[in-house]
Structure 1
Amino acid sequence: MVALLTILGVAVAVFVGFNIGGSSTGVAFGPAVGSRLVRKPTAATLFLVFGFLGAWTVGRNVIATMSSSIVPAIQFTPVASVVVLFFTGASLLISNLYGVPASTSMTAVGAIVGLGLASGTLNRALMFVIVSAWIVAPLLCLGVGVGVGRYIYPYLDRYVAFTTFSLHFLQLDRSGTIPRPYVNPNASPQDIVGSLLVVVIACYMAFSAGASNAANAVAPLVGAGGPLSVSQGVLVAVFAFGLGGFTIARRTLETVGDEITELPILASLIVSVVGATVITVLSYFGIPASLAVSTTSMIIGLGWGRASRAATLSELLTPTSERPDFEVATGALVTSRTEEAPASPTIGDIARTEAPPERRDGIPDVPAVGAEGPADLDENSLFNPAAAKRIATMWVLTPSLAVAASYPVFVFL
């Protein structure tokens, strides 16, 4: 019976990792694949390599927290491990059905909390730290996004360009006996630098995803009495990530940007760097946290900060009759009434294979804060408020349901 439960637990862990790999590969490498900088198999391979590095190094700290610190490792019996993984997998299913990025980390922790409450072994002090991090991290990303969007992004958008190539960035010359790689002749030196930056940041995103998500797939199976060692657990998780990356990740690009954002590649790179850094730091300290929550908070902050350039801080705090219609909203990364078209293709352009807006010659001046008109929120809106409400609801609902549903199960067991 124990052997059967072990096999079932590993199978459920692979299922969870499979779904994580499928979604995370597309999120990390969507801009790179859409811009034809790398092919889909190359993106899956790079995600596998850097996800493994993140899981094997920083990810061990998160695995230790979730496998033995929130509740004692002895509580993870074969049955309890399967139940925790079941609720983690169920959260992925719910998020896929509703089309929102529900947090796998938060739901997995919620299921473990249900086990701790039922057994009376929950480490409440640690949970206070974890929940505090869940609150502080999105707020930090939101604040950074507002600052960058209001004061820095307009200047970056004028000087940094990213090109969507009609052919892939690297080509193979097959005229000789040995195929010889060469760079797309349409690529300028600026394109080459920008392209390398896109790929490097995608690899960093993969590292962060591996560090934070390996524990979600295998933590209940690791530790005292568990069938897997930490190293074995990492290998199982990364194997499952690879399965998802080479299969279902191919579909992720088709839905990127459909509801949440029309996000320029430059903005997506800023979001990736900040979100991945926050999660990597938390993972280093062994705190399980959501990459989806942090990156989405950063997107909201960028849009809000960008739109707020239409008014000075004093005008934002003290509305006047001169600006009766002004409203701070998350909606101005793509375009506004008084600015040039965006320099880079958006993620939506890539998803729909549309041509990006044409860059005008020269680098226009950036209007001062308060000098711009309000963002045109009816067209090219960055953020969909209805989608935001649904996402925020799922962020709170899925871990809460995991606790509420797992508690009676563990009491019965």
Structure 2
Amino acid sequence: MVSLLTIVGIVVAVFVGFNIGGSSTGVAFGPAVGSRLVRKTTAGALFVGFGFLGAWTVGRNVIATMSSSIVPATQFTPVASVVVLFFTGLALLISNLYGVPASTSMTAVGAIVGLGLASGTLNQALMFVILSAWIVAPLLCFGIGVGVGRYIYPYLDRYVAFTKFNLHFIQFDRSGTIPRPSVNQNASPQDVVGSLLVVVIACYMAFSAGASNAANAVAPLVGEGGSLTVNQGVLLAVFAFGLGSFTIARRTLETVGDDITELPILASLIVSIVGGTVITILSFLGIPASLAVSTTSTIIGLGWGRASRSAALSELVTPTPERSDVEMATGALVTSRAEEVPVGPTIGDLARHEEPPERPEEIPDVPDVGAEGPADLDKRSLFNPAAAKRIATMWVLTPSLAVSASYPVFVLLL
């Protein structure tokens, strides 16, 4: 007979997955919905489908790590499972209240570490590997962002354009018995390619989110002596994702996120590819890591690299008297006024239903790296430095609080 604690654990797991699905759908499909490439219902369906694919394949490795490798699976009694899930859900609540994307992966692992310390069963060698990955992954994403922003992004921005359609990208002729789909007549071939890229990368982001986040919702309930099998855990997690995707995500898809609303669509695609790939690789290796941390690190790196184009590498290390005004800023993905190349629509433009600036017929060449230009970049920054500090603080604070708060609870319970 199913115990009351098992039912409570499943309910809390659904709550965690519900919030993950709501927030992750907005992050993955915000640009696609804002550009009218897909509808909100379609975005929810795609997120659930590709999230399930990620959880059912790569996500199993992360579930195995969190359910039986950090601490033995026998430690996850019904009470312990509920406590771990409680602290994971509490982190989501705090992040929603303060508007900061706290890492559910880090918080869940922190609560499991508290269990391991209280029971004396923590796998310290594995935790060293996980902590190392938590340090290396953001630095890697930041480094890739810097390289792309400094050397590649301006050329992509010059040739790649994205359009906000007044009508949805796919139209349906409902005059007959069977609706017939057709492509928006206002779409150019370049628009079609760009639009497909936006949707494909959104689906890839959903795959990565499913791979990394399924364990956060159900890992304590899975494993030897657990309430659920791995297959049941994946299905429960995806079911919870779906609840969030088709309900609270509808609002998230409209607002997209206040702290990164000025992120151009081109930049958001680069961020999704880099952050999603790093997290997918870590998930394949069974290492729980944060998609939010990786993507935000990439954003900061892109902005820093973009701002550094006007200086040579030697001047970044030691500014010369002639170039003493060199400043690095995270809000630099928007094109410099010196280059006179208007940016494509940002996520904020789409969320606010604003029209992006028109691109001229003749676009000037991209200045070489180190070419002089005015130091003041366009004030429409893609990222708020104050928000970056707040987010970084929460990344360190939430798992630390999870360990320090869960440890005395487990000491009393064990």
Band the TM-score falls in, shorter-chain normalisation: over 0.9
TM-score normalized with structure 2 length = 0.98
Residue type at the aligned position of 1:265? I
CA contact (8 A) 1:162 1:343 kept: no
Residue type at the aligned position of 1:74? T
Query: How many Å apart are 1:375 and its aligned residue?
Result: 5.0
Tell me the SS of whatever aligns to 2:345.
coil
**How far apart are the structure 2 equivalents of 1:58 and 1:342?**
40
Query: How many Å apart are 1:253 and its aligned residue?
Result: 2.9
- Residues 1:280 and 2:280 are matched in the alignment: yes
CA contact (8 A) 1:145 1:300 kept: yes
Query: How many Å apart are 1:173 and its aligned residue?
Result: 1.4
| Partner in structure 1 of residue 66 of structure 2 | 66
| Partner in structure 1 of residue 242 of structure 2 | 242
| Partner in structure 1 of residue 36 of structure 2 | 36
**How far apart are the structure 2 equivalents of 1:197 and 1:375?**
33
| Partner in structure 2 of residue 97 of structure 1 | 97
| Partner in structure 2 of residue 225 of structure 1 | 225
Aligned length in residues: 413
**How far apart are the structure 2 equivalents of 1:394 and 1:353?**
31
Residue type at the aligned position of 2:211? A
Q: For structure 1, which segment, 156-165 or 328-337, has the greater mean C-alpha deviation from structure 2 after superposition?
A: 328-337
Tell me the SS of whatever aligns to 2:323.
coil
Which consecutive residues of structure 1, in runs of 5 or more, have no partner in the other structure? none
Inter-CA distance 261–313: structure 2 relative to 1 (3 Å threshold): farther
**How far apart are the structure 2 equivalents of 1:91 and 1:374?**
43
Residue type at the aligned position of 1:236? L
Inter-CA distance 272–375: structure 2 relative to 1 (3 Å threshold): farther
| Partner in structure 2 of residue 192 of structure 1 | 192
CA contact (8 A) 2:34 2:254 kept: no
- Residues 1:213 and 2:213 are matched in the alignment: yes
**How far apart are the structure 1 equivalents of 2:247 and 2:377?**
37
Which consecutive residues of structure 2, in runs of 5 or more, have no partner in the other structure? none
Query: How many Å apart are 1:31 and its aligned residue?
Result: 0.6
TM-score normalized with structure 1 length = 0.98
Residue type at the aligned position of 2:245? G
| Partner in structure 2 of residue 3 of structure 1 | 3
CA contact (8 A) 1:66 1:220 kept: yes
**How far apart are the structure 2 equivalents of 1:377 and 1:4?**
59
**How far apart are the structure 2 equivalents of 1:411 and 1:392?**
30
Q: For structure 1, which segment, 317-326 or 148-157, has the greater mean C-alpha deviation from structure 2 after superposition?
A: 317-326
Query: How many Å apart are 1:377 and its aligned residue?
Result: 4.8
Tell me the SS of whatever aligns to 1:259.
helix
Map 1:137-216 onto structure 2 (within 5 A): 137-216=137-216
**How far apart are the structure 2 equivalents of 1:320 and 1:65?**
50
Query: How many Å apart are 1:385 and its aligned residue?
Result: 1.5
Map 1:258-269 onto structure 2 (within 5 A): 258-269=258-269
| Partner in structure 1 of residue 26 of structure 2 | 26
Tell me the SS of whatever aligns to 1:360.
coil
Tell me the SS of whatever aligns to 2:25.
helix
| Partner in structure 2 of residue 366 of structure 1 | 366
**How far apart are the structure 2 equivalents of 1:75 and 1:53?**
29
| Partner in structure 1 of residue 407 of structure 2 | 407
Percent identical among aligned pairs is 86
CA contact (8 A) 1:114 1:402 kept: yes
**How far apart are the structure 2 equivalents of 1:334 and 1:242?**
34
